[in-house]
Amino acid sequence: MDNFTFQNATKILFGKDQEQAVGQETSHYGKKVLLHYGGGSIKKSGLYDRIKNSLAEAKLEVVELGGVKPNPLVSLVREGVDLCKEHNVDVILAVGGGSVIDSAKAIAAGAYYEGDVWDFFTGKTTATQTLPIGVVLTIPAAGSETSSGTVVTNEDGQYKRSFGHDSLRPKFAILNPELTYTLPAYQTACGITDMSAHIFERYFTNTKKVDLTDRLCEATLRTIVSQGKKVLEHPEDYDARAEILWAGTIAHNDSLGVGREGDWGSHDIEHEVSGIYDIAHGAGLAIIFPAWMKYVYEHDVARFAQFANRVWDVEIDTRDLKATAEEGIARVEAFFASIGMPTRLSHVDIDETHFEEMAAKATERGPLGSFVKLHKEDVLAIYKLAK
């Protein structure tokens, strides 16, 4: 196990009716709040009204910015930064999923910066002072409710890029499983895929002797698989929704990745796809991850065989570990297909046109991943495997 520092300071309020506390929680960080949300699901569900009431009860002044799109855009972030500067906003409240939270994080960084907010994503500058953020989560998926990262797309060149800073971790996150009942099956499945992928990125490591985190990863994945099927069959099963909601946070709050090197190549490979084609990140991962696994598994067949056995109940064939490993990868792909995810680029009408460009953009800052280092030719091969 490698040395590590672990600190995840996000306060979690989990369970029924917890959003009633949003005004009080937000008021710890100031008087003026930027209420940030997406394309309208929170208005349809009635959540928006409950949030506004709670903020009013806490005597908070509200500035609003809705309209965050999945794969959030830097143009709306710039609007948010201007609003924060103009109104001297003290705190940002993100109500929605990863896209809304990531947009809020980028605004939080830009609010104290004189230059263009995209500079954070190109590495030209880094965060020093940021606005505090609170979250009411409506989709278990990206894990942004406790992560330090944000992923934003620049329409100019279709660059989907991430940047992280510890100060961007939300101060609090409200997680009520009932708020996820209205999620369409496809979005639920995209979330299940994304949280699984966050564990895969940590599980496939070159760090040795990390048995506890291996077992925690395997247990979380097994829960996601069994409870994921349940929520798709019974969208209003509170207990199953609660398991999936908490799994999404656990998958990405860093506790499963401590003491070991993560990979993250597949995420970078996927971001080029959703950056150009604007598909859901989870759907992109359902396509890219099985292809990545097929490309790299021979690097550590024993680890892939362990994964197949402990997560997918594949019997270990000691004379042919490769067969065990390959069966595990086939089970991953079959699981994603069973929950309605595309598993090939052709399933979402993506052909080879931009493969070269995506592989070049993905690797322009250097090779990807760490389990196996991937150069442009490798990334291109993975896109071809995912055809």
CB 273 to Zn ion: min, Å: 12
Sheet with 61-65, strands from edge to edge, namely 11-14, 172-175, 133-137, 91-96, 32-37, 61-65
Site for ligand NZQ in 49-78 (CB under 6 A): 70-71
92 binds ligand NZQ (CB under 6 A): no
Q: CA 102, CA 133: separation in Å to the nearest integer? A: 10
CB 175 to ligand NZQ: min, Å: 12
Distances (CA, A) of 302 to 199, 207, 208: 18, 13, 12
Site for ligand NZQ in 249-288 (CB under 6 A): 252, 267, 281-282
Q: CA 127, CA 375: separation in Å to the nearest integer? A: 29
Q: How far is CA 168 from the centre of its chain?
A: 15
Sole residue written with tokens 């880094």? 126
* 3-class secondary structure, 64: strand
**Interface map 347-366 toward ligand NZQ (x if CB under 6 A):** --------------------
CB 187 to ligand NZQ: min, Å: 4
Q: CA 266, CA 284: separation in Å to the nearest integer? A: 10
102 binds Zn ion (CB under 5 A): no
**In this chain, which of 97, 170, 228, 290 binds ligand NZQ, going by CB under 6 A?**
97
Structure tokens belonging to residue 378: 């490798």
Four-residue CA torsion sign, 347, 348, 351, 355: negative
**In this chain, which of 90, 194, 201, 214 binds Zn ion, going by CB under 5 A?**
194
Nearer to ligand NZQ by Cβ, of 23 and 177: the residue is 177
CB 190 to ligand NZQ: min, Å: 6
Amino acid at 345: L
Which of the choices ligand NZQ, Zn ion, none does residue 51 contact, using the CB cut-off of 5 to 8 A by kind? none
241 binds ligand NZQ (CB under 6 A): no
Q: CA 318, CA 305: separation in Å to the nearest integer? A: 10
CB 283 to Zn ion: min, Å: 11
Q: CA 38, CA 108: separation in Å to the nearest integer? A: 17
* 3-class secondary structure, 164: strand
Cβ–Cβ contacts within 10 Å for residue 181, how many? 15
H-run or E-run covering 137:
strand 133-137
Instruction: Find the part of the chain contacting ligand NZQ (CB under 6 A) among 40-48, 202-210, 232-240, 336-344.
Output: 40-48
* 3-class secondary structure, 92: strand
Task: Work out the angle at residue 114's Cα, subtended by the Cα atoms of residues 110 and 119, and round it to the nearest 5 degrees.
Answer: 60
Sole residue written with tokens 């940047």? 163
Are the beta carbons of 307 and 290 closer than 8 angstroms? no
Q: CA 215, CA 256: separation in Å to the nearest integer? A: 9
**Interface map 193-232 toward ligand NZQ (x if CB under 6 A):** -x--------------------------------------
Instruction: Find the part of the chain contacting ligand NZQ (CB under 6 A) among 19-27, 133-141, 227-235, 307-315.
Output: 133-141
The one-character DSSP state at 12 is E
Which of the choices ligand NZQ, Zn ion, none does residue 26 contact, using the CB cut-off of 5 to 8 A by kind? none
18 binds ligand NZQ (CB under 6 A): no
Closest CA to 178 of 351, 16, 11, 338: 16
Instruction: Find the part of the chain contacting ligand NZQ (CB under 6 A) among 32-40, 317-325, 327-335, 376-384.
Output: 32-40
Instruction: Find the part of the chain contacting ligand NZQ (CB under 6 A) among 98-106, 204-212, 341-349, 365-373.
Output: 98-106
Which of the choices ligand NZQ, Zn ion, none does residue 70 contact, using the CB cut-off of 5 to 8 A by kind? ligand NZQ
40 binds ligand NZQ (CB under 6 A): yes
Nearer to ligand NZQ by Cβ, of 239 and 298: the residue is 239
147 binds ligand NZQ (CB under 6 A): yes
> Binding residues for ligand NZQ, per CB under 6 A?
38-42, 70-71, 96-100, 102, 138-139, 141-144, 147, 149-151, 179-180, 182-183, 187, 190-191, 194, 252, 267, 281-282
> Binding residues for Zn ion, per CB under 5 A?
194
